[in-house]
Amino acid sequence: MSAADPMLEAERVLRICSACMYCDGLCPVFPAIDGKHGFSLSDVSYMSNLCHNCQGCWHDCQYAPPHPFAVNLPATFAELRQRSYADHLWPPTLGRAFRASSLAVPATVALAQLITFALVLSTGSTEMLFAADAREGAFYRMLPWPAMAGLAGGTFAWAVIAITLATLRYWRTIAPGVTISEIMRALPVALSDIITLRHLGGGGPGCHDDGAPPSHRRRILHHLTAGGFVLSGLSTMVAAAYHHLLGVAAPYPVGSLPVMLGLVGGVTMTVGAVGLLGLEARADREPSDRGETRLNVAFLILLALVGASGLAVLGFRSTPAMGLLLSTHLGLVFGLFAALPFSKALHAPFRAAALLRAAIDGNRRASTQAPEAAGDTP
């Protein structure tokens, strides 16, 4: 984006779109623009997270560069999405760090990795890192259970609290005056849109990811990444139940529920994240924003490393490489949880909030049109 003030650029472009509306039907952004002539920061913050950068309106736009109007809606929204994250992070001081550096995520992961290695070495010895140990409880001889559970639980609780509060702050910005009954009525449609990733269909044909014809690759890869993340989390929860309820310590046999969930989750998350990285690498840079690309790439690399290191632990757990691989995997997992509240992970709850507001607006439009239609009936 070249404009000095992205908010002014958004207003300029959105006014053109509002008068044109050629792209109506591509995504929920256009019904949100329709009929509006002025756009507040709240409107723009909402619309920027409704846009998922499918680039459909960039390819279809008759006013895109080299036209003098130079409409570039995906890039405009990409820049404003960054601002919507920074403006609503919790605690608010995180927003300053987020604006100041794109290295916050890698730095956090590196710190978590250092702390994990320091703990492993302080509880055992350097030799332990390179000794084969496949007996029950081997993982906890590397890092005792209280330290492992404390770091995992602490960083995960931090992520849940910080992301929930940031999302509530964002919701207050984009949905002032919305009632609980409106939320409840809109919830089924919003949940269906969120779970099926319906709008990644780009109005039907899919996303223009790499200059190739539109396809559903991005939608499928998103499903794989998110599904793998959920399965990997389930694997950890089932493993905790084995430990506490059945009194059996990891590592668990191949074929056991935690291992199978971890295996399928690790493979799907890694394949999804690597596939999305491939799409990022080949993406057309003009309808995107450099800051957002950096955020995407950092998060996808982290997810791919977490998935791949988990699979490596599973594959080599009875060899001398187990200690090093387990320490690396745990450091990456703790780093992922710690960095989630200021990473691209915010995209998920912010987009979910924007889709809920879009479903509420859809219900409002339907209820105002119904009496008008009844009045038209002779």
CB of 52 to ligand SF4, least distance (A): 5
CB of 246 to ligand SF4, least distance (A): 47
| 3-class state of residue 215 by DSSP | strand
Q: Could you give phi then psi for residue 178, rounded to 5 degrees?
A: -75, 135
Size of the site for ligand SF4 (CB under 6 A): 25
Which residue, 23 or 346, is less far from ligand SF4 as judged by CB? 23
Which residue, 16 or 314, is less far from ligand SF4 as judged by CB? 16
* Residues 263-282 close enough to bind ligand SF4 by CB under 6 A: none
| 3-class state of residue 216 by DSSP | coil
Residue count of the chain, please give it.
378
Q: For ligand SF4, which residue of 10, 32, 44, 71 counts as binding (CB under 6 A)?
A: 71
The binding track of 167-206 with respect to ligand SF4, each residue x by CB under 6 A or -, is -----------------------------------x----
CB of 238 to ligand SF4, least distance (A): 37
CB of 210 to ligand SF4, least distance (A): 15
Tokens for 70, please give them.
């130079």
Q: For ligand SF4, which residue of 6, 74, 251, 265 counts as binding (CB under 6 A)?
A: 74
Tokens for 90, please give them.
């919790």
Nearest to 45 by CA among 35, 32, 55: 32
The binding track of 30-69 with respect to ligand SF4, each residue x by CB under 6 A or -, is ---------------------xxxxxxx--xxxx------
Tokens for 312, please give them.
């490596």
Does 73 bind ligand SF4 (CB under 6 A)? Our answer is yes
* Angle formed at CA 22 by CA 285 and CA 80, multiple of 5 degrees: 40
What is the C-alpha to C-alpha distance for residues 270 and 221, in angstroms, rounded to an integer?
Answer: 10
The residues, ordered by sequence, that sit 6+ positions from 54 with a Cβ below 8 Å of its Cβ are 26, 27, 74, 199, 200, 202, 206, 207, 208, 214, 218
* Angle formed at CA 109 by CA 314 and CA 300, multiple of 5 degrees: 70
DSSP for residue 112? H
CA 124 to chain centre: 36
What is the C-alpha to C-alpha distance for residues 137 and 158, in angstroms, rounded to an integer?
Answer: 28
Does 152 bind ligand SF4 (CB under 6 A)? Our answer is no
CB of 378 to ligand SF4, least distance (A): 35
* Residues 3-32 close enough to bind ligand SF4 by CB under 6 A: 16-17, 20-23, 26-27, 29
Which residue, 18 or 236, is less far from ligand SF4 as judged by CB? 18
| 3-class state of residue 264 by DSSP | helix
CB of 353 to ligand SF4, least distance (A): 16
CB of 24 to ligand SF4, least distance (A): 7
Q: Classify residue 31 as exposed, middle or buried by CB count within 10 Å of its CB (0-12, 13-18, 19+).
A: middle
CB of 38 to ligand SF4, least distance (A): 17
- Asked whether the bond before 251 is cis by omega within 30 degrees of 0, the reply is yes
Does 359 bind ligand SF4 (CB under 6 A)? Our answer is no
Which residue, 185 or 198, is less far from ligand SF4 as judged by CB? 198
| Binding footprint of ligand SF4 on the chain (CB under 6 A) | 16-17, 20-23, 26-27, 29, 51-57, 60-63, 71, 73-74, 77, 202
